[in-house]
């Protein structure tokens, strides 16, 4: 209480400095809480899965463990995306940057780290795409493909074509697009898949076993989904482009919810001025988590990343 009473005597600059220091301790505490939560899950050796593990001292502020069976040692972060990572106390701040959807440079400036470090941390946070992808969808499920421009952003060499000047197409050159399949039910459960081609051979394995039998599959006029729906015991509803209402059966069946989802996704991706095709899956995972309002806290981000 004496400390709180003394705050009134501090100058404005002193209060600002105190606020910064308190925020640093709070974020460090969030990181420590996430690490402690992961430690509780480490009941088996990460190498041989044996339960014969014992505490084996500390190193760099982390609890170490030793397996009596394979004799390997590991710490609380081993096997996680943040293994051997320096500046752990700044992970909370960077997690907040991810929640806010900041660019690499903005996040680097916010956390006072190098741009290359910001890039590495971003993709370490995003090493959990499959974990947050819905395994089962049911009810009315909308399906459609969307396309993203093929990009070699971040690569130093391009093997199968010559590089372009400011991304401009050369005369007679055809733009290559990367197809992405999206599935979305009316309870906002979503799954997405980066495809090589938008054909039945690529689409069917993504849908197989993921939609509960008896559900309704709403698609556009593409003929690809009809045999897939029949094999998966789904009711197929086609919304033809010639239909001006874009809905059927009094507006019950449509793909407008998915179209809205795609529009918001592409609007969000515009801030990055192009996404490298090799990292497209990671950015789709980032958007899935941002769209889930239950995961928009620093601790949730850290727990999700550390549990992957």
pTM: 0.73
- For residue 269, give the nearest of 281, 252, 256, 253 by alpha carbon: 281
State residue 303's pLDDT score: 65
> Does the CA dihedral 38-41-46-52 come out positive or negative?
positive
State residue 90's pLDDT score: 82
64's CB contacts (< 8 A; 6+ apart) are 55, 56, 57, 58, 73, 74, 75
CATH architecture of 140-156+174-291: 2-Layer Sandwich (3.30)
Phi–psi pair at 169, nearest 5 degrees? -75, 145
State residue 287's pLDDT score: 87
d(CA 190, CA 216): 15
DSSP assignment string, 85-122: -S-GGGHHHHHHHHHTT--HHHHHHHHT--HHHHHHHH
CB 152 within 8 A of CB 145: no
State residue 227's pLDDT score: 93
pLDDT in tens, the chain (308 residues): 566 666 667 676 766 766 666 666 555 566 666 666 677 677 888 888 888 888 888 887 788 889 989 999 988 878 777 777 788 778 878 888 887 888 889 999 988 899 989 988 888 877 765 566 778 899 999 999 999 988 888 777 777 677 666 666 666 667 788 999 999 999 888 899 999 998 999 999 999 999 999 999 999 988 999 999 999 999 999 988 887 778 888 888 999 999 999 999 999 998 888 888 888 988 898 888 777 665 555 556 666 666 55
State residue 267's pLDDT score: 92
State residue 51's pLDDT score: 87
């Amino acid at each position: 209480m004496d400390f709180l009473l003394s705050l009134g005597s501090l100058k404005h600059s002193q209060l600002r400095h105190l606020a910064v220091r308190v925020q640093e301790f709070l974020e460090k505490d969030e990181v420590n809480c996430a690490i402690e939560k992961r430690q509780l899950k480490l009941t088996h050796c990460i190498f041989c899965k044996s339960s014969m593990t014992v505490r084996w001292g500390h190193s760099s502020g982390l609890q170490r463990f030793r397996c009596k069976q394979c004799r390997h040692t590991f710490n609380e972060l081993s096997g996680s995306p943040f293994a051997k990572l320096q500046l752990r106390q700044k992970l909370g701040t960077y997690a907040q940057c991810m929640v806010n959807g900041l660019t690499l440079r903005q996040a680097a400036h916010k956390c006072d780290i190098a741009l290359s470090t910001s890039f590495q941390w971003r993709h370490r946070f995003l090493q959990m795409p499959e974990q947050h992808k819905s395994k089962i969808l049911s009810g009315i499920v909308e399906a459609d493909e969307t396309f993203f421009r093929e990009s070699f952003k971040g690569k130093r060499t391009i093997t199968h074509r010559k590089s372009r000047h400011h991304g401009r197409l050369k005369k007679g050159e055809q733009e290559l697009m990367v197809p992405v399949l999206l599935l979305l039910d009316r309870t906002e459960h979503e799954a997405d898949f980066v495809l090589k081609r938008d054909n039945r051979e690529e689409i069917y394995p993504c849908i197989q076993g993921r939609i509960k039998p008896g559900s309704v599959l709403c698609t556009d006029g593409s003929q690809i989904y009809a045999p897939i729906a029949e094999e998966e015991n789904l009711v197929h509803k086609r919304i033809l482009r010639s239909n001006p209402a874009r809905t059927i059966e009094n507006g019950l069946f449509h793909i407008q919810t998915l179209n809205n989802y795609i529009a918001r996704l592409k609007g969000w991706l515009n801030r990055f001025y192009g996404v490298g095709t090799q990292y497209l899956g990671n950015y789709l995972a980032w958007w899935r988590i941002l769209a889930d309002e239950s995961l928009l806290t620093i601790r949730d981000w850290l727990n999700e990343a550390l549990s992957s």
